[in-house]
């Protein structure tokens, strides 16, 4: 039902090389190859942990176990295991829960360091610099800020950089279960952005006729609509979409009612099929109003334009957007066209590297991320993301995440690895100390809320902070893996 | 050591009438009488609860107990007691914990309704309207906002309206244990204020050369310095003052480092002797810098100027402020002079109605208030105030409050009454629902954090919201007193 994956063009020597022609003239095959290399590299690192630990476990009663185990770990995982865990294996047996959590955190650490050192998802220099790059384009569309709230679901974690092919540093992202972002928090962010325009002319001056654009991305599953959709909305697509639209309108009204002088924001609702990564865009009409049943489906448009030349395909995207909502504002239309064209590359990406749809259409996150930050997480199904200041306010988001990991990990005896992370602005005195305090407070609240799991060794927490102004690597603080081991374990 | 309470002037027929001459020419005796009437009225209402319940308790085995009890309650407390509690008294005995909590909440409710209906602490019409009133005066001093963070200690709850004699609606107040306000939260408020100046010209336009003034009020005890000071700082005055100053500087640096174009704020550190209500003001120098040992002591100045005429006394206040910090900015000096002159009335108030110092120099709060709002709380030792969004972030503030009430109430078997309150802006859609949700969430978190007390019936929570834009009365939501009774009590 998602169109046949007909391949055209010259035979490629290897199914996965960059030179292979993709399904669609607008899909960028080289970019896809580069993004796929990166995604596979990161996921392979995480997915090597379980088989490697299994191999090591099988050796635990051999005489030179420790040196054998370390040799395997170095070769397969790229780091050594904590010596004391290996040394204690003879007493009882190898503490696999601690090893698993420790290896997940070590892999995360290496992955982060790589991200902030080599900038693997940087956009091409050409795009970055032409006409002010994406920020410049966004302003010509009438927007000075793009703020996207996807669902916290890990299957949307690649929304910015992969699905929409946007430069991740140019977009604000805050993930919430069911995409139900916090209105008060968003009003504060809006105020901050407008303030900076007034005082500092960043990203443009306050008299420029641009607005703040808030986007909600809900999601659904074309392969298994009854079960593969949004857990926060009982896998009910209509409910996910209408809840997202309602939240958007609430945010807009909050701005309009709290500030005078015609203050307002623009809104956009997007749906994501997490099986094919195709988006649907609810094109706003001339008044900015959206309807749940009025959208452009990128997958249909992809199929319909697959065999055309580039300019004809672009023309058809334009037509589709305008036919959906004839009065749509010119700038909004241009932004949507760009999102759809970008999404074509991602549709081709899934087809090329995964087939009609992903094999892992369900949850397959490797860990939970809780806090503020996580700029490096731009990959699908790597992390369940709960944007939060406190466990108290984000309890339901966290409960969804813990439920997912109870299925994924605890069912087979593996712990839930949680990275608690707070990025801070290093130029503000005391900001690092406050981020550290926040990490500790959230960790304690997690251990208290999920005290049963924690008590059984099935919840492990790594605390991390990062100075996001300094382009710095992450800084590792406490970790329950070490703490418990020091205290003698369970 | 706080000066002798020499009384001058004509003999007053009654020690407490308004016509009595106070100690100081600048002290406003009529205002004092009005404020004292109000304070005594409110406190008498709360303090009638225990003796009334004792009387009722003594009758619980009389045949017409229920009607006798209600008659006493109506007469002494002004409301009836819950019938089912009285009716169940024959089964076991009267549930005094529930009655006590219920009466405290009913008294609070009546007190709030009175406050929002009759505006008992309104400033005189003359002062309100002359030259734009206090806001106008503040702007001539160079400030568009006065934001004060006192300690959460109930002995500072009357700081704005009594100690400093300011119109409470013209001042932002957020109380934190030890006056250690939240810097990130304050930065957000600052951004909001500046934003409104830019967009709406409220309270003045952004080009007016005024600044945001942040004040910290720490406290100490002249009668019992070792034990009567700030609990959050171990009753160490130097520590309380230096921690407050440090927090102020952190806030200022956060503003300066986060926003360009010379954005900054002004700071002022004030100390309060909670036994005499005299303040000390750490007058900033020409650069705005303050020192812990450089301050004007209002009590000394009061004594030194007591026998002068008004213009000479005012002149001496001016001299004292300028001699303390010769370079002090003209506007800052004028504000401080006003605060000191206002404080003279409060010093006289304590002397007239309480003697050399308050009898209740220690804690005597009647309940804990947690949340956002509580504009009506302008009375000393009525409520311990924890300004908070979540229990998680305010845990240490709440712990201090619970510790105080464990001493005050639980020690003699009475529960801790907690009012959880969130004011909201009614013009923002969904704001009421979010306030209601927040009340429930904070209540659950309180019950979880203090589950031992709660389980023993020693913690009762009343949930309240209020539309602060509508000048509305408070709206009563859930109350554990009813909930538990419905569920069959303990
Ligand atoms: Zn979801
Ligand atoms: Zn463990
Ligand atoms: Zn204190
Ligand atoms: Zn009870």
Cβ pair B198:A198 closer than 8 A? yes
- Write out the residues of chain B at the interface with chain A, using a CB-CB cutoff of 8 A: 183-184, 188, 191-192, 194-196, 198-200, 206, 250, 253-254, 257-261, 263, 389-393, 395, 425, 427-431, 434, 441-442, 445, 448
The residue that leads in pLDDT, A482 or B423, is B423
> Is residue B378 reached through a cis peptide bond, with omega within 30 degrees of 0 on the bond before it?
no
Span B361-366, mean pLDDT?
A: 93
- A254 chain-B contacts, CB cut-off 8 A: 428-431
DSSP B61-73: TSTTHHHHHHHHH
For B150, the enclosing helix (H) or strand (E) is: strand B143-150
Sheet order of strands, B475-479 included: B383-387, B367-372, B416-424, B459-467, B475-479
Cβ pair B434:A258 closer than 8 A? no
Give the distance (Å) from ligand 3 centre to CA of residue B294. Answer: 21
Q: Is A220 helix (H, G, I), strand (E, B) or coil?
A: strand
pLDDT in tens, A286-334: 999 999 999 999 999 999 999 999 999 999 999 999 999 999 999 999 9
Write the CB contacts of A81 (distance below 8 Å, at least 6 apart in sequence): A56, A69, A70, A73, A99, A102, A103
Span B219-231, mean pLDDT?
A: 95
Residues A271/A295, Cβ–Cβ less than 8 Å? yes
Q: For residue B248, is pLDDT > 90? A: yes
Which of the residue ranges A80-84, A138-142, B337-341, B443-447 would you say has the lowest mean pLDDT? A80-84
- Cα-only R_g, chain A: 23
Span B180-205, mean pLDDT?
A: 90
Cβ pair B183:A260 closer than 8 A? no
pLDDT value at position A465? 98
Residues A437/B184, Cβ–Cβ less than 8 Å? no
Average pLDDT, chain A: 90
In sequence order, the β-bridge partners of residue B182 are none
Q: For residue B340, is pLDDT > 60? A: yes
pLDDT value at position A405? 97
- B441 chain-A contacts, CB cut-off 8 A: 392-393, 395
Q: Pseudo-torsion of CA B126, B129, B131, B134, nearest 10°? A: 90
For ligand 3, an ion, list residues with CB under 5 A: B 151, 153, 230, 232
A17 Rama class: left (phi>0) / alpha (psi -120 to 50) / beta: beta
Span B437-462, mean pLDDT?
A: 97
DSSP B111-127: HHHHHHHH-TTPPPHHH
- B430 chain-A contacts, CB cut-off 8 A: 183, 250, 254
Q: Is B209 helix (H, G, I), strand (E, B) or coil?
A: coil
Query: Which of A188, A190, A195 is best to mutate for the B interface (most B CBs within 10 A)?
Result: A195
Cβ pair A199:B194 closer than 8 A? yes
Cβ pair B389:A393 closer than 8 A? yes
Nearest to A97 by CA among A419, A431, A409: A409
pLDDT value at position A484? 55
ipTM of the complex: 0.82
pLDDT value at position A349? 97
Give the strand pairing for B367-372 and B416-424.
Answer: parallel
Give the distance (Å) from ligand 1 centre to CA of residue A293. Answer: 19
**A122 DSSP assignment:** P
C-alpha distance from B249 to closest chain A C-alpha (Å)? 9
pLDDT in tens, A423-480: 999 888 888 999 999 999 999 999 999 999 999 999 999 999 999 988 889 999 999 9
Residues A102/A481, Cβ–Cβ less than 8 Å? yes
Residues A111/A48, Cβ–Cβ less than 8 Å? no
Cβ pair B253:A195 closer than 8 A? no
pLDDT value at position B130? 64
Rounded Cα distance between B388 and A73, Å, is 48
Q: For residue A14, is pLDDT > 90? A: no
Number of the ligand closest to the Cα of B232: 3
Catalytic residue among A95, A153, A182, A297, which?
A: A153
Q: Which residue, chain included where needed, has tokens 């107040």?
A: B173
Span A65-88, mean pLDDT?
A: 92
Give the distance (Å) from ligand 1 centre to CA of residue B168. Answer: 45
Number of the ligand closest to the Cα of B482: 4
Rounded Cα distance between B44 and B77, Å, is 10
pLDDT value at position B15? 42
Cβ pair A254:B206 closer than 8 A? no
Token pair, residue B48, equals 């009638």
Residues B402/B461, Cβ–Cβ less than 8 Å? no
Q: Is A361 helix (H, G, I), strand (E, B) or coil?
A: coil
Query: Which of A191, A399, A448 is best to mutate for the B interface (most B CBs within 10 A)?
Result: A191
| Distances, alpha carbon B35 to alpha carbons B14, B50, B232, in Å | 17, 25, 29
- The answer to whether residue B84 is catalytic is no
Rounded Cα distance between B303 and A89, Å, is 77
Nearest to B170 by CA among B187, B189, B145: B145
Cβ pair A258:B184 closer than 8 A? no
Rounded Cα distance between B148 and A275, Å, is 54
Token pair, residue B429, equals 């859609």
Residues A256/A263, Cβ–Cβ less than 8 Å? yes
DSSP A307-320: TS-HHHHHHHHHHH
Residues A191/A199, Cβ–Cβ less than 8 Å? no
Span B182-193, mean pLDDT?
A: 90
Q: Is B413 helix (H, G, I), strand (E, B) or coil?
A: coil
Span B95-99, mean pLDDT?
A: 91
Give the distance (Å) from ligand 4 centre to CA of residue A447. Answer: 28
Query: Which of B249, B392, B449, B450 is best to mutate for the A interface (most A CBs within 10 A)?
Result: B392
Residues A357/A350, Cβ–Cβ less than 8 Å? yes
Q: For residue B6, is pLDDT > 60? A: no
pLDDT value at position A123? 85
Q: If pLDDT is split at 50, 70 and 90, which confidence band does B489 have? A: very low
Q: For residue A260, is pLDDT > 90? A: no
Q: For residue A130, is pLDDT > 70? A: no
Cβ pair A258:B429 closer than 8 A? no
A216 Rama class: left (phi>0) / alpha (psi -120 to 50) / beta: beta
pLDDT in tens, A236-253: 999 999 999 999 999 999
DSSP B415-451: -EEEEEEEEE-TTSTTHHHHHHHHHHHHHHHHHHHTH
Give the distance (Å) from ligand 4 centre to CA of residue B446. Answer: 15
Give the distance (Å) from ligand 1 centre to CA of residue A235. Answer: 8
For ligand 1, an ion, list residues with CB under 5 A: A 151, 153, 230, 232
Q: If pLDDT is split at 50, 70 and 90, which confidence band does B131 have? A: low
Q: For residue A90, is pLDDT > 90? A: no
Nearest to A170 by CA among A4, A358, A8, A335: A335
Number of the ligand closest to the Cα of B274: 3
- B261 chain-A contacts, CB cut-off 8 A: 199-200
pLDDT value at position A396? 92
Cβ pair B257:A428 closer than 8 A? yes
Give the distance (Å) from ligand 2 centre to CA of residue A42. Answer: 25
**A161 DSSP assignment:** I
Q: Is B416 helix (H, G, I), strand (E, B) or coil?
A: strand
Cβ pair B250:A425 closer than 8 A? no
Give the distance (Å) from ligand 1 centre to CA of residue A243. Answer: 11
Catalytic residue among B153, B273, B277, B397, which?
A: B153
């Amino acid at each position: 039902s998602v169109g046949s994956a007909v391949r055209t063009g010259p035979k490629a020597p290897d199914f996965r090389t960059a030179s292979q022609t993709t399904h669609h003239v607008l899909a960028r095959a080289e970019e896809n190859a580069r993004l796929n290399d990166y995604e596979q590299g990161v996921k392979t690192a995480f997915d090597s942990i379980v088989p490697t630990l299994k191999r090591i476990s099988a050796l635990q009663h051999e005489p030179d176990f420790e040196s054998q185990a370390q040799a395997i770990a170095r070769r397969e995982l790229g780091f050594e295991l904590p010596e004391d865990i290996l040394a204690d294996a003879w007493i009882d047996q190898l503490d696999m829960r601690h090893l698993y959590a420790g290896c997940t955190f070590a892999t995360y650490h290496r992955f982060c360091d790589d991200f902030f050192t080599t900038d693997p998802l940087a956009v091409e220099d050409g795009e970055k610099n032409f006409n002010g790059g994406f920020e410049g384009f966004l302003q010509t569309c009438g927007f000075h800020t793009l703020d996207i709230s996807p669902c916290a679901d890990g299957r949307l974690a690649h929304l910015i950089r992969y699905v929409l092919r946007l430069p991740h540093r140019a977009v604000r992202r805050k993930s919430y279960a069911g995409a139900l972002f916090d209105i008060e928090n968003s009003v504060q962010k809006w105020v901050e952005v407008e303030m900076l325009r007034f005082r500092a002319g960043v990203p443009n001056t306050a008299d420029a006729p641009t607005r703040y654009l808030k986007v909600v991305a809900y999601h659904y599953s074309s392969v298994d609509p009854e079960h593969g959709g949004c857990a926060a909305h009982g896998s009910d697509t209509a409910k996910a979409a209408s809840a997202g639209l309602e939240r958007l309108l609430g945010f807009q009204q909050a701005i309009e009612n709290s500030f005078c002088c015609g203050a307002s924001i623009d809104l956009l609702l997007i749906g994501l099929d997490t099986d094919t990564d195709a988006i649907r865009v609810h094109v706003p009409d001339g008044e900015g109003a959206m309807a749940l049943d009025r959208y452009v489906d990128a997958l249909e448009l992809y199929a319909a334009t697959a065999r055309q030349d580039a300019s004809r395909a672009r023309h058809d995207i334009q037509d589709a957007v305008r036919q959906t909502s004839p009065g749509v504002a010119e700038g909004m239309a241009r932004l949507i066209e760009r999102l759809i064209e970008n999404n074509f590359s991602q549709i081709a990406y899934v087809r090329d590297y995964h087939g009609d749809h992903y094999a892992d259409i369900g949850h397959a996150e490797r860990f939970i991320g809780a806090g503020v930050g996580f700029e490096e997480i731009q990959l699908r199904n790597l992390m369940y993301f709960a944007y939060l200041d406190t466990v108290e306010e984000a309890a339901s988001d966290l409960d969804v995440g813990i439920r997912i990991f109870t299925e994924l990990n605890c069912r087979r005896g593996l712990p839930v690895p949680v990275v608690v992370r707070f990025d801070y602005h290093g130029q503000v005195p005391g900001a690092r100390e406050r981020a550290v305090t926040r990490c500790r407070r959230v960790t304690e609240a997690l251990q208290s809320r999920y005290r049963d799991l924690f008590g059984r060794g099935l919840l492990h927490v790594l605390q991390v902070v990062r100075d996001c102004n300094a382009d710095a690597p992450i800084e590792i603080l406490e970790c329950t893996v070490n703490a418990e081991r020091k205290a003698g374990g369970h």
